[in-house]
């Protein structure tokens, strides 16, 4: 089942509920892509990323990609496409002084196209609440102006997140110059995306290192500067976060979840889960979720 | 079961109690509970759409000269939706939705200067 809506200002909303779908050579405006259930695979150039619940992907205007859903359970995906004009007005509103906005309410200059790092971002906190409300109102076919309020806030929150997750974090790198720092940060983002996309597989530091074009030692050292943990710890956290989502929103048994998120030993999983969330998985499912 | 210690009060002007009640019911969607014991509506309870009860008490103009005296925080589950509805209803918006430590909030004023803060509390611990 698909639902698509073009708002009065050309912003677009799209949702799809399916177990199987494939789209090749897609190209759109700047878009934010989230998954509520299941997963969705994107092939962007030579790399492949998989978006799971709890994360979202940003694709820049004009980026060519293939999109695939192939799942045993039903996948529920959602996307916002920000129109060029909306994006330009948003940026103009924030980059201009109040006086300037009064003198020239409409931006007549050609602003350079904004590009963001095309990576997987955490869908937590305010942006999670915002998207959840937006999806509800989209499904209820609410008024365009109301939907637009949520889209405005989604973009606002994404800018904040971008500042925190990309601009601020990249400054933590001990690189010599800005160019080197940006390139290193991009490669570390590839490492992160590889783990987020393949957390349920048996992956090693060598695999991550190969996909991010960094030596294992360099990856280990610099990853910690950005994410405050080792790649292995990051992978474990990702598995636990996904296990928590499954405990909350699926009927899989504990043993099934252990296998689905990439753990091999249930007792190790229970111990790690309790350490992170202060509840056993069983208690979490029965009393907290 | 509600307890009186959790009931907030809403001040009504003595000279315009009916208009004040209409504002709560028609603009904010409150539901009236109980019967008034006086023409000032003292003793009437109102309930917002989230099930929170408020007690009405009458005040004179002098008591509420300072507009900042009264600020009722109304918990909401969808701040932007409520803001949209308030704007559509033509209410006086004091502050549009903004992010605060507890979540997302906006403020409106009633025609008598009472301030209402709509707050969507959010759990940031996850």
The arithmetic mean of pLDDT across residues A261-270, rounded, is 92
Out of A124, A126, A146, closest to residue B81 by CB: A146
How distant is the Cα of A146 from the closest Cα of chain B, in angstroms?
Answer: 6
Look at residue B57 in the predicted model and tell me its pLDDT.
72
Contact A37, A19 (CB under 8 A): no
Alpha carbons B58 and B11: distance in angstroms, whole number: 6
Residue-level pLDDT at A149: 96
Which of A137, A139, A147, A149 best tests the B interface by mutation, with the highest count of B CBs <10 A? Answer: A149
Is the ipTM higher than 0.90? The answer is no
For residue A249, what pLDDT band results from cuts at 50, 70 and 90?
confident
CB A166 within 8 Å of CB A117: yes
**Contact with chain A for residue B73, Cβ under 8 A:** no
Tell me: pLDDT of A50 over 80. yes
Pairing of strands A2-6, A40-44: unpaired
With contacts defined as CB-CB under 8 Å, which chain B residues touch A137?
A: 81
Residues of A in contact with B103 (CB under 8 A): 129
- Answer yes or no: is pLDDT of A116 > 90: yes
| Angstrom distance (rounded) from CA A193 to CA A233 | 15
Contacts of A133 in chain B (CB under 8 A): 78, 80-81
Whole-structure pTM value: 0.86
pLDDT at position A111 over 60 = no
Q: What is the pLDDT of residue A59?
A: 97
Q: How far is A160 from chain B (nearest CA, A)?
A: 12
Q: Which helix (H) or strand (E) holds A91?
A: helix A84-95
For residue range B23-81, list pLDDT tens digits in order. 888 888 888 887 665 666 666 778 887 788 887 777 666 555 555 567 788 889 999 99
Task: Please report the pLDDT score of residue A76 as a whole number.
Answer: 92
Q: Does A288 touch chain B (CB under 8 A)?
A: no
**B98, B118 contact by CB (below 8 A):** no
Q: Is the pLDDT of residue A231 over 60?
A: yes
Q: Do A125 and B99 touch (CB under 8 A)?
A: no
Separation in Å, CA A204 to CA A197, A245, A273, B5:
14, 24, 21, 58
Q: Is residue B2's pLDDT more than 50?
A: no
Burial A248-273 (b: 16+ CB within 10 A, else e): eeeebebeebbeebbbeeeeebbebb
d(CA A21, CA A35): 14
**Bridge partner list, B107:** B95, B117
Q: What is the mean pLDDT of chain A?
A: 90
């Amino acid at each position: 089942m698909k639902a698509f809506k073009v708002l009065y200002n050309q912003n677009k909303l799209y949702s799809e509920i399916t177990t199987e779908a494939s789209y090749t050579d897609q190209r759109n405006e700047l878009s934010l892509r989230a998954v509520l259930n299941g997963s969705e695979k994107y092939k962007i150039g030579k790399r492949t990323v998989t978006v799971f619940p709890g994360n979202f992907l940003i694709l820049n205007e004009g980026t060519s990609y293939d999109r695939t859903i192939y799942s045993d359970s039903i996948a529920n995906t959602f996307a916002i496409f920000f129109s060029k004009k909306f994006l330009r007005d948003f940026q103009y509103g924030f980059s201009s002084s109040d006086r300037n906005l009064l003198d020239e309410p409409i931006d007549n200059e050609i602003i350079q196209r904004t590009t963001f790092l095309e990576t997987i971002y955490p869908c937590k906190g305010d942006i999670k609440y915002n998207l959840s409300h937006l999806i509800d109102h989209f499904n209820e076919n609410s008024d365009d102006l109301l939907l637009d309020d949520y889209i405005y806030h989604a973009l606002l929150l994404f800018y904040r997140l971008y500042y925190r997750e990309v601009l601020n974090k990249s400054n933590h790198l001990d690189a010599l110059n800005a160019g080197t720092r940006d390139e290193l940060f991009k490669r570390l983002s590839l490492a992160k995306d590889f783990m987020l996309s393949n957390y349920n597989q048996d992956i090693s530091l060598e695999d991550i290192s190969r996909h991010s074009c960094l030596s294992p030692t360099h990856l280990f050292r610099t990853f910690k500067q950005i994410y405050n943990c080792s790649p292995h710890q990051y992978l474990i956290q990702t598995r636990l976060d996904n296990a928590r989502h499954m405990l909350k929103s699926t009927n899989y048994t504990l043993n099934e979840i252990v296998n689905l998120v990439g753990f091999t030993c249930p007792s190790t999983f229970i111990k790690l889960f309790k350490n992170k969330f202060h509840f056993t998985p069983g208690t979490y499912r029965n009393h907290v979720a | 079961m509600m307890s009186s210690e959790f009931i907030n009060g809403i001040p009504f002007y003595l000279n315009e109690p009916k208009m004040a009640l209409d504002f709560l019911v028609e603009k904010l969607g409150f539901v009236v509970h109980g019967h008034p014991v006086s023409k000032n509506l003292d003793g009437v309870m109102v309930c917002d759409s989230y099930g929170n009860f408020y007690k009405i008490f009458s005040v004179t103009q002098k008591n509420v000269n300072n507009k900042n005296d009264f600020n009722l925080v109304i918990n909401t589950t969808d701040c932007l939706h409520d803001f949209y509805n308030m704007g559509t209803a033509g209410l006086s918006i004091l502050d549009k939705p903004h992010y605060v430590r507890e979540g997302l909030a906006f403020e409106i004023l009633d025609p008598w200067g009472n301030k209402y803060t709509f707050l969507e509390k959010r759990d940031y611990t996850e």
